[in-house]
């Protein structure tokens, strides 16, 4: 009797635990698998693993549903960053109307050993390119995003001023040493 009662309790516990697992799998499984690895695809769904690098808010490896497009992947990576790097490594706020976005999709063919790169470049203020919107990403592709901008007068000043300071300091130092 006692073993019968214990086996019923054990079976009930397994049933309840199984229900919790099913409930957890039924919900969205968007979660971080580790540093830089994000799972978007649902459990049991056909998925591709892609790498997103560059000027995105959340770069890393993504496990996404098969057939994901670049604009969906950029959304998963929380979009293109709002700041760029100026001269000297400073973070600067960008004027988006004058920026260009370059997206490269790199594919490695294991049979031939050749890596091909498809390049898409557009102005940030223009509509997202149609050929990029319809592009179907495949497993193990690397997507790099780069925001480009034209140099401003401040960039030139930041480049020239250290050189000028070095030259002037050297001149005055040599002048004092020779006197």
Tell me: pLDDT of 48 over 90: no
Spatial separation of the C-alpha atoms in residues 84 and 147, rounded to whole Å: 7
58 pLDDT tier (thresholds 50, 70, 90): confident
- Residues 153-172 have a mean pLDDT of 86
Number of domains in the chain: 1
**Residue 56 belongs to a domain:** yes
For residue 66, what is the domain's CATH number?
Answer: 3.10.560.10
Range of the domain at 130: 30-174
Q: Is residue 1 part of a domain?
A: no
**What's the pLDDT tens digit per position in 16-33?**
555 444 444 444 444 545
Q: What is residue 49's predicted lDDT score, i.e. its pLDDT? A: 87
pLDDT of amino acid 115: 93
Residue 15 lies in a domain: no
Q: Identify the pLDDT of residue 15.
A: 53
pLDDT at 172 over 80: yes
Q: Work out the burial of residue 71: count CB atoms within 10 Å of its CB; fewer than 13 is exposed, 13-18 middle, 19 or more buried.
A: middle
């Amino acid at each position: 009797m006692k073993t019968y009662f214990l086996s019923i309790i054990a079976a009930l516990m397994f049933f309840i635990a199984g229900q919790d697992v099913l409930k957890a799998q039924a919900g969205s499984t968007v979660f971080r698998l580790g540093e830089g690895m994000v799972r978007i695809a649902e459990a049991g769904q056909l998925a591709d693993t892609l790498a997103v690098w560059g000027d995105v808010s959340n770069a890393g490896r993504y496990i996404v549903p098969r057939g994901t497009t670049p604009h969906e992947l950029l959304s998963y990576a929380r979009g293109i960053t709002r700041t760029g790097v100026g001269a000297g490594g400073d973070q600067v706020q960008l004027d988006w109307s004058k920026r260009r976005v370059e997206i490269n999709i790199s594919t490695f063919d294991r049979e031939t050993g050749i890596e091909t790169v498809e390049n898409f470049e557009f102005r940030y203020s223009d509509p997202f390119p149609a050929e990029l919107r319809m592009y179907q990403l495949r497993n193990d592709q690397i997507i790099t995003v780069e925001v480009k901008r034209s140099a401003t007068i401040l960039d030139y000043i930041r480049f020239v001023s250290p050189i000028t300071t070095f030259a002037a300091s050297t001149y005055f130092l040599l002048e004092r040493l020779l006197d």
